[in-house]
């Protein structure tokens, strides 16, 4: 059984359910992708007897979890009665329609987003080994993520965001072999980020709005993720040099509101196709590398509230997809003619509180007499003219050598 079928179909169902007026409303029975799914809390039929061993384990786990929930203001758990767990609100089951697999109804997903439940995550949930997604955002769960969660070998999506979970980074998530989406933002996790986080095959990493501290692991550039959000923590030190060599899969990365220092790494932009880059509200210094101009898909570039200096080049201001460029509250001393054209291109361009002569809303002259990081030596590789961008070169080579390959 290909569990991606289960995941994709369940996600479709869950997105449809969000349009309903009441929590947990969904369709009771359906089929797609070689899978018949049941559940979601409405008119779920009794599962076949062949499914009983699997569902008995699910019943044990869910009833134990129900006992650990101390407040249920929306009365979601009032439906969690009896052995037919597929009738429980927020619990989704599936039945593989594969001649090679004996028909067994499985618990394949739990979606209790915005249920406002109060309680803890218990070790018994690890009995749900066929579960592909666990969505628990916007509740009031406290405590840690149990180590037994490593037994959730089929789990592809884990969303624990907007709860009250605490302790160190939940390292158990790094031992879930199928996990591709990790969201633990808006909790109270603390300590350092593990190096292994950026070696895992994760497509989305959301760890923002916690209390993580220390340096960002130097292997950041190893991550194959398309979205990484590290914002609103207490991370310090330099942005790892490996960030300058991330692959083209990366679309969004946010470092904002940490305590980062040093330079923006040389090479950033050469090999990526980022659409959003936000390093604002840190203490970065030095000049902006010309390689940022390779970000021809960039829509939002936010460098504000740092200690960056130098001049904004024609290359930086001529990026074709740019919608918003924010460099306010730095120490830039000027910008090129191309940057002046941004106003006529209807592009948001905020350069206030810098040190640009002849421009309004700049820093007082005494603040501009001593540029922060004047002694800082940022590694800068002389850029050729015209600048050769890695992602564009690779893309061009691919198109010329393989006209039949589908887009990723």
Separation between Cα atoms, residue 205 and residue 30, nearest integer Å:
31
Q: Residue 249 has what pLDDT?
A: 92
Separation between Cα atoms, residue 268 and residue 279, nearest integer Å:
12
pLDDT(377) > 90 = no
Q: Residue 270 has what pLDDT?
A: 84
Q: Categorize the per-residue pLDDT at 387 as very low, low, confident or very high, splitting at 50, 70 and 90.
A: low
Q: Which residue has the tokens 């149990």?
A: 146
Q: Categorize the per-residue pLDDT at 40 as very low, low, confident or very high, splitting at 50, 70 and 90.
A: low
Q: Where are the domains of the chain?
A: 66-350
Longest dimension (CA), the chain: 81
Q: Are 142 and 164 in contact (CB under 8 A)?
A: yes
- Cα-Cα-Cα-Cα torsion 315, 316, 322, 324, nearest 10 degrees, comes to -150
Provide the residue count of the chain.
408
Q: Residue 39 has what pLDDT?
A: 54
Q: Categorize the per-residue pLDDT at 389 as very low, low, confident or very high, splitting at 50, 70 and 90.
A: confident
Mean of the pLDDT values across residues 17-28?
Answer: 36
Q: Which CATH class is domain 66-350?
A: alpha beta
Q: Residue 394 has what pLDDT?
A: 43
Q: Are 40 and 93 in contact (CB under 8 A)?
A: no
Q: Residue 100 has what pLDDT?
A: 44
The predicted-structure confidence for 111-162, as pLDDT tens digits, reads as follows: 999 999 999 999 999 999 999 999 999 999 999 999 999 999 999 999 999 9
pLDDT(255) > 90 = yes
* Percentage of the residues of the chain whose pLDDT score is greater than 70: 77
Separation between Cα atoms, residue 51 and residue 43, nearest integer Å:
18
Average pLDDT, rounded, for the chain: 83
pLDDT(362) > 50 = yes
346: buried, middle or exposed (CB in 10 Å: 19+, 13-18, 0-12)? exposed
Q: Categorize the per-residue pLDDT at 170 as very low, low, confident or very high, splitting at 50, 70 and 90.
A: very high
Separation between Cα atoms, residue 139 and residue 56, nearest integer Å:
26
pTM, 2 dp:
0.84
Residue with more model confidence, 358 or 50? 358
Q: Residue 273 has what pLDDT?
A: 87
Q: Are 235 and 259 in contact (CB under 8 A)?
A: yes
Helix (H) or strand (E) holding 10: helix 3-17
């Amino acid at each position: 059984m290909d569990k991606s079928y289960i995941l994709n179909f369940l996600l479709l169902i869950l997105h449809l359910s969000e349009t309903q007026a009441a929590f947990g409303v969904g369709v009771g029975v359906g089929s797609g992708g070689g899978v018949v799914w049941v559940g979601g809390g409405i008119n779920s039929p009794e599962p076949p007897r062949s499914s009983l061993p699997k569902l008995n384990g699910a019943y044990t786990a869910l009833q134990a979890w129900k006992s650990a929930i101390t407040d249920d203001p929306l009365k979601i758990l009032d439906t969690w009665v009896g052995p037919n767990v597929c009738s429980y609100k927020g619990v989704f089951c599936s039945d593989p329609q594969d001649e090679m697999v004996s028909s067994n109804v499985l618990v394949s997903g739990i979606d209790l987003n915005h249920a406002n439940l109060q309680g803890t995550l218990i070790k018994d949930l690890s009995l749900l080994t066929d579960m592909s997604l666990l969505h628990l955002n916007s509740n009031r769960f406290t405590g840690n993520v149990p180590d037994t969660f490593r037994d959730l070998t089929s789990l592809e999506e884990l969303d624990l965001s907007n709860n009250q979970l605490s302790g160190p980074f939940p390292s158990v998530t790094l031992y879930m072999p199928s996990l591709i989406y990790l969201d633990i933002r808006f909790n109270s996790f603390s300590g350092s980020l593990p190096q292994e986080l950026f070696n895992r095959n994760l497509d989305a990493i959301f760890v923002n709005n916690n209390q993580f501290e220390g340096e960002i692991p130097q292997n950041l550039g190893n991550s194959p993720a398309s979205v990484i959000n590290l914002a609103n923590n207490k991370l310090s030190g330099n942005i790892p040099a490996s960030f300058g060599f991330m692959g083209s899969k990366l679309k969004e990365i946010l470092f904002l509101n940490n305590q980062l220092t040093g330079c923006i790494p040389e090479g950033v932009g050469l090999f990526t196709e980022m659409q959003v880059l936000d390093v604002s509200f840190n203490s970065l210094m030095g000049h902006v590398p010309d390689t940022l101009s390779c970000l021809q898909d960039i829509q939002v570039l936010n460098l504000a509230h740092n200690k960056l200096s130098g001049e904004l080049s024609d290359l930086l201001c001529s990026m074709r997809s740019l919608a918003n460029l924010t460099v306010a509250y730095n120490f830039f001393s000027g910008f090129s003619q191309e940057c002046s054209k941004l106003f006529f291109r209807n592009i948001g361009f905020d350069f206030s509180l810098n040190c640009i002569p002849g421009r309004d809303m700049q820093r007082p002259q005494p603040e501009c007499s001593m540029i922060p990081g004047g002694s800082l030596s940022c590694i800068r590789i002389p850029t050729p003219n015209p600048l050769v961008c890695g992602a564009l070169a690779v893309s061009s080579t691919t198109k010329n050598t393989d006209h039949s390959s589908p887009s990723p």
